[in-house]
Amino acid sequence: MKKYILIVAVMFALVSCSKDVDKKAINSFLTDLSEVYTANFNGPDPDDVTKIDFAVKRLYLDSPNEFAPTGKGSFVEVDKQKVHDVAAQYFKTSIHEDQNTADVDFTSGDKYQFMPTNVEELVFSKVDEVMKSVGDTLLLKVNVYSVKSGWKGDINSSVSDWQLEDPNNIPSEYKVMRTVIYRCNDSYRILSYADFDSK
């Protein structure tokens, strides 16, 4: 219950910019998080490990050419500033301290290194309900789906449409998130990202 109160408090603390709700744009934004298995967090300033882990993996999916081989097996590396830039596009606060995560190493040469893995499934997010709206700040119930790699469907379509598009590869819901985002100047920031049934 305390976490829910915190989420609502975060919503009322922010200034309004616009009242439009563009679910397609929000689905795309939240899919960017779910696709790299972003860790849960409550409040507008997740720990640096969460931001770094997300930003390195997101950057690799979007711009693999930004990474260079390290000469150590399959590990690749990228300048830390590029990681900071990606984090700034998604979170309200910047990375405070560069450091290692469970999957990512920070080197003395101001580089982040990690070993990419093969993608065997697509994970995407779809807004199920706008639970509360205060100006540009939205409290959302979000369904997260997984489907085998190679799926060609539209994440914004209905479940019945997915069944028609590929009967042998239908997305399945594997978790529900309670998410707080806000919008200003045609972009979004994530303020809270937690399991829907968390207390």
20-31 per-position pLDDT tens digit: 689 999 999 999
**Are 58 and 36 spatial neighbours (Cβ–Cβ below 8 Å)?**
yes
Three-state SS for 131-165 is EEEECCEEEEEEEEEEEECCCCCCCCCCHHHHHHH
Lowest mean pLDDT of 8-12, 19-23, 54-58, 126-130, name the range: 8-12
Which of 156, 154, 194, 157 has the alpha carbon at shortest distance from 176? Answer: 194
Structure tokens at 135: 């100006």
Q: Evaluate the CA torsion angle 97, 102, 103, 106 in order and state its sign.
A: positive
| Cα distance between residue 60 and residue 54, in whole Å | 10
Task: Name the pLDDT band for 74 (thresholds 50, 70, 90).
Answer: very high
Question: CA torsion sign, 196 to 86 to 12 to 183?
Answer: negative
Say yes or no to pLDDT of 82 above 60: yes
Counting residues of the chain whose pLDDT is more than 70, the rounded percentage is: 88
